[in-house]
Amino acid sequence: MRAFKFILLLMIGANLMAGEKIALSVKNSSGMQSEFSVSLTDNSPASELVKQLKNSPLTLKMSDFSNFEKVGNLPFSLPRNDEPISTDAGDVILYQGSRFVIYYDQNSWNFTRLGVIDELKNGQISKAEFIKFLGNGDIEATLRVKE
């Protein structure tokens, strides 16, 4: 029985490590542009997002909300796997099935996790640098499947 549990844990870990990524190109209100890599969560909403993006990249206008997130409306709905989540800078969330959200600060609510921005998770960019880049105004974000 122990061997079975160990093998199952290895399989789960391998599946998560082999997760897909998307590229997130962001243009801020000053016209500066940067590209980030998003490691996707292993769930049906993230899988469906990848299917949508394989048809063509998607550009979203995203507005600031409550000084902790940028929110854009998807032109389609994704399945929801809402659960209580505490977010932090770099979390990419699905809200209400059709809102794509990039967090740059903390919040707690019932959301569906889509992924996390690798550059923040890996320390390549600090939270302060990310906040400064995003700025106070609207942004434009283009999502595409990472090759």
Give 16's DSSP letter.
H
**117 in a domain, yes or no?**
yes
**4 in a domain, yes or no?**
no
**8 in a domain, yes or no?**
no
- Facing residues of 72 across strands? 100
**96 in a domain, yes or no?**
yes
| Domain of 83, in residue numbers | 20-145
Domain count within the chain: 1
The CATH number of residue 81's host domain is: 2.40.100.20
One-character DSSP codes across 109-139: EEEEEEEEEHHHHTTSS-HHHHHHHH-SS-E
Unique residue bearing structure tokens 């609207």: 138
Question: pTM (2 decimals)?
Answer: 0.86
One-character DSSP codes across 38-64: EEEPSSHHHHHHHHHHHH--EEEEEEE
Q: pLDDT tens, position by position, for the chain (147 residues)?
A: 444 433 333 343 333 335 799 999 999 999 999 999 999 999 999 999 999 999 999 999 999 999 999 999 999 999 999 999 999 999 999 999 999 999 999 999 999 999 999 999 999 999 999 999 998 899 999 999 987
